[in-house]
Amino acid sequence: MSDAQNENFVLSLYTKTWVRDSHGLFDYESNQTKYLNAILAESICIGRKKHQITTLHNSNELKEGEELLFNVRHPEPNLYILDNEVPVRVQPNQENINDLSNKIWYILKNDPFKSNNSNQVVLNTNDDYYLCQNDVIKLGRVKYSLNEINIPSRNNNIDRAPAINDIKKYDIDDLNKNTEPVFDFIFQAKDSSEYNDIPDDERLCKICYSSENDRINNPLVHLCNCNGGLRFSHFMCIKRWMETKLQIKQNDKNTVRSYSIKSFNCEICKTPYPFKFKLNGIEKPFELISLEKPLGCDYIVLESLNQVKDNCNIKTIHVIQLNNDELIIGRGHESDIRVNDISVSRNHAKLKYNTEDGTLLIRDLKSKFGTLILIKKPLVIKEKKIHLQIGRTYIEGWLMTMEEFEKLKKEKKNKALNKQQHQNQQQHQYQQQHEYQQHQFQQQNQPMNQEQNLDNNAMDLEDKNFGPKTFYQNQ
Ligand SMILES: [Zn+2]
Ligand SMILES: [Zn+2]
* pLDDT at 39 exceeding the cut of 50: yes
Q: What percent of the chain has pLDDT over 70?
A: 83
Model pLDDT, residue 422: 79
Please tell me the number of the ligand nearest to residue 212's CA: 1
CA 107 to chain centre: 9
Residue 475: band (very low, low, confident or very high) from pLDDT cuts 50, 70, 90: very low
* pLDDT at 121 exceeding the cut of 90: no
* pLDDT at 2 exceeding the cut of 60: no
How far is it, in rounded angstroms, from Cα 220 to Cα 234?
Answer: 4
* pLDDT at 115 exceeding the cut of 70: no
* pLDDT at 96 exceeding the cut of 80: no
Model pLDDT, residue 162: 54
How far is it, in rounded angstroms, from Cα 18 to Cα 122?
Answer: 12
Average pLDDT over residues 3-29: 87
Model pLDDT, residue 467: 39
Q: What percent of the chain has pLDDT over 90?
A: 52
Model pLDDT, residue 417: 86
What's the CA-to-centroid distance between 318 and ligand 1, angstroms? 28
Q: Are the CB atoms for 145 and 317 separated by under 8 Å?
A: no
Coil/strand/helix, residue 97:
helix
Residue type at position 190: K
Average pLDDT over residues 382-408: 92
Residues 400-448 have pLDDT tens digits of 998 888 888 888 888 888 878 877 676 767 676 666 665 554 444 433 3
How far is it, in rounded angstroms, from Cα 12 to Cα 1?
Answer: 19
Residue 5: band (very low, low, confident or very high) from pLDDT cuts 50, 70, 90: low
Q: Which residue would you say has higher pLDDT here, 111 or 179? A: 179
Residues 48-57 have pLDDT tens digits of 998 888 888 8
What's the CA-to-centroid distance between 225 and ligand 2, angstroms? 5
What's the CA-to-centroid distance between 258 and ligand 1, angstroms? 27
What's the CA-to-centroid distance between 425 and ligand 1, angstroms? 79
Model pLDDT, residue 110: 82
* pLDDT at 457 exceeding the cut of 70: no
Residues 285-336 have pLDDT tens digits of 999 999 999 999 999 999 998 777 788 889 999 999 999 999 999 999 999 9
Model pLDDT, residue 474: 43
DSSP code for 350: E
Model pLDDT, residue 435: 66
How far is it, in rounded angstroms, from Cα 92 to Cα 376?
Answer: 17
What's the CA-to-centroid distance between 339 and ligand 2, angstroms? 28
Q: Which residue would you say has higher pLDDT here, 338 or 38? A: 338
Model pLDDT, residue 461: 33
Residue 450: band (very low, low, confident or very high) from pLDDT cuts 50, 70, 90: very low
* pLDDT at 15 exceeding the cut of 50: yes
What's the CA-to-centroid distance between 269 and ligand 2, angstroms? 4
What's the CA-to-centroid distance between 222 and ligand 1, angstroms? 12
**Nearest alpha-carbon partner for 398 in 177, 175, 167:** 167
